[in-house]
Structure 1
Amino acid sequence: MSFKENLLKKIEIDKLAKKVTGSLGTPDSGRRIDKETVRHLLEMGPRKFRKERDNDLYVLETDPRENNILVLDNELAIYTTTAEDIALRKSPTVKEMISIRNVIRILSDSDVIISKKEDSVKTIQKECTDMLDLSFDESDIDAIEKDGQASLEGGYTDGVIESLSLFAELLKYAPPPKAFRMSNYKIIGVLTQKDGGEKRFGPLVIYSIIHNVIKLIDDQISTLDKEKTEFVHKVAMGKEKASKEGTEVFRYLRDAVVRQMR
């Protein structure tokens, strides 16, 4: 796959991992893990599915002993043991429970668990990402710039948003804090947390999904500065002039990535 395809896949992996983490709850919360999203994430990684009794297991293929196994249930635990041992611990037969040794294994599995819940999600996320070739050169960044410019000129909103998402990933741009949010706009920028709860946002890109207009404000604006915050909203509505507009915004983002490379 191309660098662009791999980077889009990484973005998808990160979104899925975030969704799974959001579905996790405490033991007494009653919340159930989003199994379908976990399955989708696991299908993008190196683990192979195996059914052992009534347990859905995902075995790490790169482990020659096949002793690194994730169990798809609400605990989302990763074990360092065999599939047969997991089946005994989680779904024992009456005959197996007669053995004192087995009962001890059934009652406590802390000796074979590597991680649970959020930590397991991070492991899966890394396994998926590690399978991608995310190396790139200047020509790859030029291609993303040109795709964004062509999409903007052609009125292809999804293409513009895709290019902005790619640049956001490369530049570590974040969604806006509450003070800068606007409906029907895609907004990304550099988010900095300061002492006392202050946040600073910028440089920032504002894309009107309805009007297919893109603008950039090359400044860092405090969430506590009401005048500057209002200025951002006025730029979005065309009442104030932006630092850059149109296809030049993609040139700015391209140059920012290239500067990071050098």
Structure 2
Amino acid sequence: MSFKENLLRKIEIDRLTQSILAMIGPVDSGKRIDKALLAKLMAFFPWHREKERDLELYLENAESEKTRILVLDNDLTIYDTTVQDVVMRKSPTVKEMVSIRNAIKILNDKDVVVSKKEASLKEIQKICIAELDLGFSESDIAAIAADGSASLENEYAEGVQESLMLLAELLGMVPAPKAFAIKHHDIYGRVSEKPGGEMTLGPLVIYSLVHDSLTCLEGPVSSRDKERFDRFKAVAAGESEAAVSGAAVFDLMKAKVLAAGTADRDR
């Protein structure tokens, strides 16, 4: 797959992980993980899948008797043991339960549990991303910026949004949190939190679906600035000065990515 395809996959893996994380609660919280979202995430997971009794298991090494094993349920427990041991602990038969030794294992699995819930989900995320080749060349970045510029010129919103999202990801810019978000505007920036609950966003880029405009503000904007939304809208409408506007925003983002020194020059 191309670098662009791999980066899109990484963004999707991160998005799914964050959505699932928001659903995870304590054992007695009653919160349930969305199975549809989890299934989408597991489509990226490289471990060997197999069914045992009523359990869906993922094995890190299917050729080894003892290995890390993920049980796909609401707890997302990862064990370091054998398949037979996991099955006996998680889905025991009546015959297995009458054994005192087995009963002790069923009631106390700390000796074989590696992680659960949030920790397991983050491990799944890490393993999925590790499968992707995220090395890139200068031409990879130039192609993304060129696609964005062409989309902006042709008023193709989805193309602009995709290129903006990809370059923002490479620059560590995140979608604007609620304190800075505006309907019908894609805003990305670097978020900083300060004492007292203040948050700043910047540098930032704004793509307005209302005005079909792309702008960049270099300085940080504070969540305590009561005029921040009016400022964003004025900049997007061309009524207030921006640091950079139009296709030049993609050129600026491309230059910043390459200047960061993360390009794989050997590709």
TM-score interval w.r.t. the shorter chain? over 0.9
SS of the residue corresponding to residue 22 of structure 2 reads: helix
Gaps spanning 5+ residues in structure 1: where?
Answer: none
1:174 matched residue in structure 2: 174
Summarize deviations over 1:192-227 as a string: whole Å, max 9, x none: 222222222112111112432111112222222335
Where does residue 265 of structure 2 map in the other structure?
Answer: none
For the residues of structure 2 that align with 1:66 and 1:135, how far apart are their CA atoms?
Answer: 33
What's the % identity of the aligned pairs? 49
Structure 1 residue 66, shift from structure 2 partner? 5.3
Structure with a larger share of its residues in helix: 1
SS of alignment partner, residue 124 of structure 2: helix
> Quick one: distance in 2 between partners of 1:252 and 1:62?
47
- For the 8 Å contact 1:202–1:218, the answer to whether it is kept is yes
Q: Which residue of 2 aligns with 1:184?
A: 184
Letter in 1 for 2:235: V
Deviation at residue 60 of structure 1 after TM alignment:
1.4
Deviation at 1:128, TM superposition (A): 0.5
Q: Paired residue for 2:244?
A: 244
Superposition CA RMSD, Å: 1.7
* Distance across 2 between alignment mates of 1:203 and 1:239: 19
Secondary structure of 1:58's counterpart equals strand
Question: What does residue range 107-122 of structure 1 map to in structure 2 within 5 Å?
Answer: 107-122=107-122
Aligned residue in 1 for 2:73: 73
Question: What's the secondary structure of 1:187's corresponding residue?
Answer: strand
Find the aligned partners of 1:119 and 1:209 in 2 and give their Cα distance: 38
Counterpart amino acid of residue 170 in structure 2:
L
The 5 Å alignment of 1:4-83 reads 4-61=4-61, 64-65=64-65, 67-83=67-83
Which residue identity does 2:175 align to in structure 1? P
TM-score, normalised to structure 1, is: 0.94
- Cα separation, 2, equivalents of 1:120 and 1:27: 14
**Distance 1:93-1:178 versus aligned 2 partners, 3 A rule:** closer
Cα distance, 1:157 vs. partner?
Answer: 1.0
| Cα drift, residue 175 of structure 1 | 2.0
Checking the alignment, whether the CA contact within 8 Å between 1:223 and 1:229 is kept in structure 2 is no
C-alpha displacement of 1:104: 0.9
Aligned 8 A contact 2:13 2:128 in 1: yes
CA contact (8 A) 1:192 1:201 kept: yes
Deviation at 1:31, TM superposition (A): 1.4
Query: 2-side partners of 1:227 and 1:49: how far apart?
Result: 53
Give, in whole Å, the separation in 2 of the partners of 1:223 and 1:95: 62
